Amino acid sequence: MNLNSLAMYRNLNERQKALHDFMSNVSEETWCASWINGLEYALWHIMLRGPAKYGQGHINEHTIEKLQSLSEQANCWIVYDSVTEETPVPISEWLTMFQFANPNEYLYTRR
């Protein structure tokens, strides 16, 4: 995490940090990357549709339940972009963002 990222991460409250950290761990386990591009969209998609292969791993029901629980506790979903870094987005706003996302941009697996 660079200094800018650290500053943005510090702006998250404890529940948001817990959600961020769990999402980042899933990215590390499946892609060997702290935050693979499109992670927030792929994880939400999998939460809606159930266990699935992702990257070099598999997202199971336990992981899905943990993501759901953490997002409910934080009352947000974490998104990442090059300007705002780690950003908590209220669920109502996130649902609109997700609705207009292109699955082809985030649902990919390593060949």
Query: What are the pLDDT digits (tens) for 47-86?
Result: 999 999 999 999 999 999 999 999 999 999 999 988 888 8
pTM (two decimals): 0.88
What is the helix (H) or strand (E) element at residue 76, kind and residue range? strand 76-81
Q: Where are the domains of the chain?
A: 3-105
- Contact between 51 and 64 under an 8 Å Cβ cutoff? The reply is yes
Q: Give tens-digit pLDDT for 14-36.
A: 999 999 999 999 999 999 999 99
Radius of gyration of the chain (CA): 13
